[in-house]
Amino acid sequence: MDDPLARYEPLIDDYEQFRATCAEPLPQVVRVNTVKATTDRATAALDDAGIAYEQADWYGELLRLELEKPGNTWPYVHGWLYGQEEVSAIPGLVCDPQPGERVLDPCAAPGSKTTHLAALMDDTGLLVANDSNLGRLSALRSNTERCGLTNVAVAKSDARNFSLKPFGGEQFDRVLADVPCSCEGTVRKNPDIFDEWTLDHVHGIAGIQKGVLSRSIEVTEPGGTVVYSTCTFAPEENEAVLDHVLGEHDVSLVEYDLPLETRPGVTEWDGAEFDGSVRKAKRVYPHLNDTGGFFCAKLEVHA
Amino acid sequence: MRDNDGHQFGRLPATERDREVEGRPTREAVVDFWQERYGIPAATWGDYSFWERGSGKVWAFHGEVPSPARIQGLGMSVLRTDHEHWKPTTNAAQRFGGLATDCVIHLEEAEATAFLAGHDQEIDRWDGDWGYLVVTHDIGGEQEPIGTGLYLYGELRSQIPKGRQRDL
């Protein structure tokens, strides 16, 4: 397909603005790692180093930097900053893990969500960070160590068959399934993302996503929370995956607040109709908040 | 006694009497090491479990999992105990070195930059113990540890791993 983004014209009311924003580059963003420094101290260090930044108004721990390589600064060396896309902070906030809880990040590498979850847990409890790829796990481990985290257990497995056995067999309070996806929402960072795009790939990866989300639900205790997120627009990978698990498991979508402009999940796509509750999921289009694209849903697991 | 299996995490024995794996350091010895050399209070480690994976490599985990743990990572590697002098890792120095009261050397900015770049440097003002020191500098209005240095014969040798060295 020459222009995959054109598929989404029927879903987006200000489509021209959407396309224009997708063609613009993204600012460099870092999140303050509050395990090692307060936002005040991190920004004081940036001030001392003469590095300009702008705090995101919706989440003060996110700083937009006018700097190509934040890795070559003292605050980064100290593990006070983590380079990531602004929207990558969404699923951790929606997951809302509490200190002392048991939390699973089944598709964890390279670690932007893991390090955020650990900070939200005050580096206590048990945070299991799983990934299937050894090279990516190595990046994850160096990121958790640079961030000074001590509550993370790193596991290597296919998230569709994740085993509770190494962790005492107990289920989790919360799971953040930030699944592999076609990454259409990262187009501002990776303008080449559509070179390899095919509808077959979208359908193939949607099968993996259903497997990961199903297993995530199975390892969550009744009353627990599962957050499902992608950085893509394709409803096949978003609402269709939710619709699938709603039919297979005793779960429901729940409303949540997010201080960003969003659009509700879509209930119809390409001739298919989805459960009406998928409207509780949120779509983040790049032009709404000048960010990357994102999709995020919060589910409650029943007995 | 069993041999250490370098591919899994095994919990450190509480004391010498509880030791089941040849040569494995005890929890008591690890806690005492931080206290006696660096003045880091034993209570710091109250909620931590200690583990060995790889020969003499000690990890600190802020919680509990069943032992042995056949997983890829568990908390933070904090200490190498496979030589006569135990060596704190860069990550442990950064995370816990702020609690240290002894064996802490404070660097001026030019010295700190050279230390981070991996350079060894003559520093003759140190009159404390030789060996592994917590190395600090000032940032954001306070003192902050950068990593571990080895002080011998008037020279501070940077122990920052190659992948963490930076030329600022």
CB B148 within 8 A of CB B85: no
pLDDT at residue B82, rounded to an integer: 92
Closest to A79 (Cα-Cα) out of A87, A67, A71: A71
Closest to A246 (Cα-Cα) out of A205, A282, A274, A209: A274
Q: Is residue B3 part of a domain?
A: no
Q: Is residue B111 part of a domain?
A: yes
Structural domain boundaries of chain A? Answer: 87-301
CB A184 within 8 A of CB A234: yes
How far, CA to CA in Å, does B141 sit from each of A43, A68, A176? 11, 25, 36
Structure tokens, B123: 């520093």
pLDDT at residue A178, rounded to an integer: 98
Average pLDDT estimate for A198-208: 97
CB contact under 8 A, A148 and B146: no
CB contact under 8 A, A152 and B73: yes
Instruction: Give pLDDT tens digits for B73-103.
Output: 999 999 999 999 999 999 999 999 999 999 9
Measure the CA–CA gap between A197 and B53, rounded to whole angstroms.
42
Q: Is residue B1 part of a domain?
A: no
Looking at B61, B88, B115, which one is the last position of a domain?
A: B88
Phi, psi of A225 (to 5 degrees): -115, 135
pLDDT at residue A239, rounded to an integer: 98
Query: Same domain for B74 and B40?
Result: yes
Q: Is residue B77 part of a domain?
A: yes
- What ipTM was estimated for this complex? 0.94
Number of domains in chain B: 2
Min Cα distance B83 → chain A (Å) is 23
Query: Same domain for B15 and B83?
Result: yes
With cut-offs at 50, 70 and 90, classify the pLDDT of residue B1.
low
Measure the CA–CA gap between A167 and A84, rounded to whole angstroms.
29
Measure the CA–CA gap between A43 and A75, rounded to whole angstroms.
9
3 state SS of A292: coil
Chain A positions in Cβ-Cβ contact with residue B168 (cut-off 8 Å)? 72-74, 77
Q: Is residue B121 part of a domain?
A: yes
| A-B contacts at Cβ under 8 angstroms | 95
CB contact under 8 A, A150 and B61: yes
Instruction: Give pLDDT tens digits for A257-299.
Output: 999 999 999 999 999 999 999 999 999 999 999 999 999 999 9
CB B71 within 8 A of CB B9: yes
Instruction: Give pLDDT tens digits for A19-77.
Output: 999 999 998 999 999 999 999 999 999 999 899 999 999 999 999 998 878 788 999 99
CB contact under 8 A, A166 and B163: no
Measure the CA–CA gap between B14 and B153, rounded to whole angstroms.
36
For residue B38, give its domain range: 10-88
Chain B positions in Cβ-Cβ contact with residue A41 (cut-off 8 Å)? 140-142
Neighbouring C-beta atoms of residue A200, cutoff 10 Å? 8
Average pLDDT estimate for A175-184: 97
- Rg of chain A over Cα atoms, rounded to whole angstroms, equals 19
Q: Is residue B97 part of a domain?
A: no
pLDDT at residue B80, rounded to an integer: 97
Query: Same domain for B116 and B82?
Result: no
Would you list the DSSP string of A212-249?
HHHHHHHTEEEEEEEEEEES---GGGTHHHHHHHHHHS
What are B's interface residues with A at a Cβ cutoff of 8 A?
47-48, 60-63, 65-66, 69-77, 91, 94-95, 116, 139-142, 144, 146, 163-164, 166-168
Question: A181 catalytic, yes or no?
Answer: no
Min Cα distance B60 → chain A (Å) is 7
CB A132 within 8 A of CB A157: yes
Chain B positions in Cβ-Cβ contact with residue A77 (cut-off 8 Å)? 116, 146, 164, 166, 168
Highest CATH level, class, for A87-301: alpha beta
Looking at B88, B117, B134, which one is the last position of a domain?
A: B88
pLDDT at residue A1, rounded to an integer: 67
Q: Return the residue of A nearest to B164 by Cα.
A: A77
Does residue B6 surpass a pLDDT of 80?
Answer: no
Q: Is residue B2 part of a domain?
A: no
Instruction: Give pLDDT tens digits for B108-162.
Output: 999 999 999 999 999 999 999 999 999 999 998 899 999 999 999 999 999 999 9
CB contact under 8 A, B76 and A155: no
CB contact under 8 A, B95 and A150: yes
Query: Same domain for B52 and B83?
Result: yes
Closest to B147 (Cα-Cα) out of B101, B78, B81: B78
Closest to A95 (Cα-Cα) out of A75, A118, A74: A118
Q: Is residue B55 part of a domain?
A: yes
B51 membership: H or E segment, kind and range: strand B49-52
Looking at B88, B117, B147, which one is the last position of a domain?
A: B88
pLDDT at residue B5, rounded to an integer: 76
